[in-house]
Amino acid sequence: MRETHYATQQELNEQFAARIAHILQNSIARQGRASLLVSGGRTPVGLFEILSQADVDWSNVDVSLADERWVSADDEASNEKLVRTHLLKNNAAAAHFVSLTTTAADANDAITEVTERVNAMARPFDVLILGMGEDGHTASLFPCSEQIKAGLDMHSGQTLIAVQPTTAPHQRISLTLPALLNSRNIFLHLTGDKKKAVLDQALSADDSLEMPIRAVLQNADVELIWAA
Ligand SMILES: O=C(O)[C@H](O)[C@@H](O)[C@H](O)[C@H](O)COP(=O)(O)O
């Protein structure tokens, strides 16, 4: 794992946004379009605010999520709402957003439709930004869920999976491990000493069913982006 540490979260947000913008712009120059997969949660809010102002040809960028909570798109817990509020504005308002939600009551009934949408995006994704929970989950690949083996199965052929965490609220829809790993640039964005301690714990052993972030760290060239 490569590591980039910043002195403050403000510096992280500014420098990381500039790097993401640079990668997206290069991808647009090379292949006409670029793709950005982001995570929800609280960590990326400040980054999104700055990234939304970046000088990128956003009309050629597809933005989607690594995972979504199965709530309506105007619910406070919705990752889509978070992205629409903090990222898809200013210059980034021109980006094309690929939603992971449908009106189905159960995420299992949405897998086919959402898979078609995500599979229509060019692969590899250009930029994937992952977060991590204190239980070692990433995206919505939760160690407590019955679906964790299927989510980590590199040969499942599945892009998305419905997940029911038992230690966190809301049913989820999540990209599977093989779908997430099909990305050119994978960043793990963490802030605070507590998350760093969880990461150290993840790096100290191998069982990815116990801490799913290990599966990403073991199978991809990940760059940690961290500030206290
Ligand atoms: O929808 C989600 O919950 C996420 O995508 C999830 O994987 C998140 O990145 C971590 O739980 C960290 O969340 P915080 O940034 O809030 O700590």
Read out DSSP for 33-96?
A: -EEEEE--SSTTHHHHHHHTTS-S-GGGEEEEESEEESS-TTSTT-HHHHHHHHTSSGGGGGSE
Best residue for ligand 1 mutational test, from 47, 78, 137 (most atoms within 8 Å of Cβ):
137
Taking CA atoms only, the protein residue closest to ligand 1 atom 9 is 131
Task: Express as a percent the part of the chain with pLDDT over 70.
Answer: 100
**pLDDT number for residue 104:** 98
CA distances from 180 to 25, 100, 131, 133, 166 (A): 21, 14, 12, 17, 22
Which protein residue's CA is at the shortest distance from atom 3 of ligand 1? 41
pLDDT value at position 224?
98
Tell me, using a 6 A CB cutoff, whether residue 138 lines ligand 1. Answer: yes
Q: Is the CB of 79 under 6 A from ligand 1?
A: yes
Tokens of 93: 């308002």
Closest ligand 1 atom number to CA of residue 130: 9
Whether the CB of 191 sits within 6 Å of ligand 1: no
- Low pLDDT (below 50) residues in the chain: none
What does the alpha-carbon distance between residue 100 and residue 201 come to, in Å, rounded to a whole number? Answer: 31
- CATH code that applies to domain 2-227: 3.40.50.1360
**Domain range summary for the chain, segments of one domain joined by +:** 2-227
Q: Is the CB of 143 under 6 A from ligand 1?
A: no
ipTM for the predicted complex comes to 0.97
Whole-model pTM? Answer: 0.98
